[in-house]
Amino acid sequence: GCRAGLALNPATPLNVLDYVWDKLDMVVIMSVNPGFGGQSFIPSALAKIRALKESAIANGRDDLVIEVDGGVKPNNIAEIASAGANMFVAGSAIFGADDYRKVIASMRSELEKV
């Protein structure tokens, strides 16, 4: 019942997935360089998310969970979802806000537009 996932740092190319498509349930696209919270989303991650979604479909894995971690905020979550992500990690965007509920509601509202 265990599910398998692989996290890709910003500089890691997608071709590392070529030999493991059949073993993965999830791919995490790191949209910041891991190490500390509060970093800005790296815009080139959007192209990587789109390419990952296309590759997943081409490899018969349209059920793949595509998670994005880093710099996810209300002002970019819809664009990230439009690129193909279907799971999101938001740390400082939520925990750095005065009103967690308001930020989460804003993110959900943005996702409804996609």
Please state the domain extents for the chain. Answer: 5-112
Amino acid occupying residue 60? G
Q: What is the pLDDT of residue 89?
A: 96
Q: What is the pLDDT of residue 58?
A: 95
Q: Is the dihedral of CA 27, 31, 37, 38 positive or negative?
A: negative
Q: Encode pLDDT of 53-96 as tens digits.
A: 999 999 999 999 999 999 999 999 999 999 999 999 999 999 99
Grade residue 36 by pLDDT with cuts at 50, 70 and 90.
confident
Does position 38 have pLDDT exceeding 90, yes or no?
Answer: no
Please state the φ and ψ torsions of residue 88, each to the nearest 5 degrees. -135, 140
Q: What is the pLDDT of residue 62?
A: 93
CATH superfamily ID and name for 5-112: Aldolase class I (3.20.20.70)
